[in-house]
Structure 1
Amino acid sequence: MFENVTKARAYAYLAGVFWAFMIISNILATRTLEIEFIVLPCSILTFPVLFIVNDILSEIYGYNMTKDIIYLGFIINTFAIVLYHIAMLFPSNSPNADAFAMLLSTTPRLFVAGLISYMLGNLLNSKVLVVLKEKYSDGLFVRCILSTVIGETVDSIIFISISFIGVLPSDVVLTMICCQIVFKSLYEILAYPVTRKVIFRLRTLDDGELKGQI
């Protein structure tokens, strides 16, 4: 499967991973996990992977090609949510119908929060990394971590603020934002050795069909 991989084929693989984790994260976000006084959506376990893949794409393929994947992810996400709700409109004799609706339904507020935070957070992450690469060709660790911290901070602030301000006390909302930023940043730091290894491996591949585009 991974024999004779080119940068063009690797781009397709990374796009698939990005979109898969995006959908998984949306489903996991319907459940929360509690650690002491901290309450976080279960998507905290998978959503940071989007930013890690974003870093890899931005480092190897640049902003424009990464932006295409982010935009298509936005379309896929919107399409999936619309189809979930269309499916719920039809009567069903399935014993799991109520569980299906409970798991995959979302309020307009959460829907808007998720789409806006996804777009702005990921686009900013990619742009910052590419700008840092142009100015500082060395320092992969710094640009991967810094771009992710900035992107995930914007994502967390937008999503939690739109979703929970006026619903939860202000101190709880602030705690959720801070905890998400810290957890996602630590996630990125711990995963950096893998990120670095993938980036270095991709640099050695032939461009394939991407020749002249990156």
Structure 2
Amino acid sequence: MSKSYQHLDSITALFVAVLLISNVASTKIVDFGWFTFDGGTLLFPLSYIFGDILTEVYGYQRSRKVIWLGFCSALLMSFTLIIVGALPPAADWHYQTAYEQILGLTPRIVIASLIAYFVGEFSNSWILAKLKILTRGKWLWSRTIASTLVGQLLDTGIFILISFTGVVPNSLLLTLIVSNYLFKCGVEILFTPATYVLTSWLKRQEREDFYDVNTNFNPFALKESKRSTS
């Protein structure tokens, strides 16, 4: 029988909420001090922090389910916004142009977002799980930061290159990639103490500290592996 957890549902809900809100906020490009990035970048790094916590405490196969839930939720939201935008507006509703400019997602943006999310999140979770075994559960900071450096690089690079190549000047393309990447990784590093506190608290509350020794890391696997805890 599967083990039940007190807080897994709450973390899952927060993870999906952060993902969806970030996708909507990404429709605006902002200047933030030295950085130029899409608005979703302000919140999106939290999804990687939640992803780190999920994998560290509950293991890769639990995290895999949450990542897929986020993927399906983002896909549903994107299709809904596209369909609503394509429907004819009511005669006395005069905001169709505004809707299309802000929420009128193109297939290119949707594809870029989903591919980037899939590759980035699974890379992040896989690296953290592997490093936990390699470090024998020590040096959490090294796992969260290393996994984020790789996951965010893939996520940011894939999304911006697919979304904006040929749409914005190459100079802005590079600026977006660098600014997004540095800001996201910086947030992860700054939140490391909070990640330590929350992770330690969850491990005590859930009585779980999962090690993915026998885990099947195929992101498409449905069968759960034998669980191994410390």
Pairwise same-fold verdict (TM > 0.5)? yes
Residue aligning to 1:183: 183
Preserved contact between residue 6 and residue 206 of structure 2 (Cα < 8 Å): no
Preserved contact between residue 51 and residue 122 of structure 1 (Cα < 8 Å): yes
Equivalent position amino acid for 2:114 in 1 = L
Residue aligning to 1:124: 123
Which moved further from structure 2: 163-172 or 93-102? 93-102
Residue aligning to 1:167: 167
Distance in 2 (alpha carbons) for counterparts of 1:153 and 1:206: 32
Distance in 2 (alpha carbons) for counterparts of 1:37 and 1:202: 36
Distance in 1 (alpha carbons) for counterparts of 2:89 and 2:32: 38
Residue aligning to 2:54: 57
Q: May I ask how many residue pairs the two structures share in their alignment? A: 207
Distance in 1 (alpha carbons) for counterparts of 2:35 and 2:52: 28
- CA deviation after TM superposition for structure 1 residue 114, in Å: 0.4
Equivalent position amino acid for 2:184 in 1 = K
Equivalent position amino acid for 1:81 in 2 = S
- CA deviation after TM superposition for structure 1 residue 38, in Å: 4.1
User: Percent sequence identity over matched residues?
Assistant: 32
Equivalent position amino acid for 1:62 in 2 = G
Preserved contact between residue 145 and residue 188 of structure 2 (Cα < 8 Å): yes
Unaligned runs of 5+ in 1: 1-5
Unaligned runs of 5+ in 2: 209-225
Change (3 A) 1:37 1:130: closer
Equivalent position amino acid for 1:19 in 2 = V
Preserved contact between residue 7 and residue 205 of structure 1 (Cα < 8 Å): no
Preserved contact between residue 156 and residue 177 of structure 1 (Cα < 8 Å): yes
SS for the counterpart of 1:205 is: helix
Preserved contact between residue 7 and residue 202 of structure 1 (Cα < 8 Å): no
Equivalent position amino acid for 1:86 in 2 = I
- CA deviation after TM superposition for structure 1 residue 170, in Å: 2.3
Residue aligning to 1:147: 147
Residue aligning to 2:214: none
Equivalent position amino acid for 2:160 in 1 = I
Residue aligning to 2:157: 157
- CA deviation after TM superposition for structure 1 residue 164, in Å: 1.4
Distance in 2 (alpha carbons) for counterparts of 1:172 and 1:98: 26
Residue aligning to 2:219: none
- TM-score, normalising length from structure 2? 0.83
Matching of residues 59-78 of structure 1 within 5 Å = 59-78=56-75
Preserved contact between residue 7 and residue 207 of structure 1 (Cα < 8 Å): no
Across the aligned residues of Structure 1 and Structure 2, the Cα RMSD in angstroms comes to 2.1
Equivalent position amino acid for 2:174 in 1 = L
- CA deviation after TM superposition for structure 1 residue 143, in Å: 0.4
Superposed CA offset, 1:60-114 (max 9, x none)? 0111110111111111111111112222314323354443333221111111110
Preserved contact between residue 141 and residue 192 of structure 1 (Cα < 8 Å): yes
Distance in 1 (alpha carbons) for counterparts of 2:159 and 2:61: 25
Residue aligning to 2:89: 91
Which moved further from structure 2: 153-162 or 94-103? 94-103
- CA deviation after TM superposition for structure 1 residue 176, in Å: 1.5
Matching of residues 2-13 of structure 1 within 5 Å = 8-13=5-10
Residue aligning to 1:138: 138
Distance in 2 (alpha carbons) for counterparts of 1:173 and 1:15: 32
- TM-score, normalising length from structure 1? 0.89
Distance in 2 (alpha carbons) for counterparts of 1:36 and 1:13: 33
Distance in 1 (alpha carbons) for counterparts of 2:203 and 2:35: 40
SS for the counterpart of 1:204 is: helix
Equivalent position amino acid for 1:11 in 2 = L
Preserved contact between residue 38 and residue 179 of structure 1 (Cα < 8 Å): yes
Change (3 A) 1:119 1:25: same
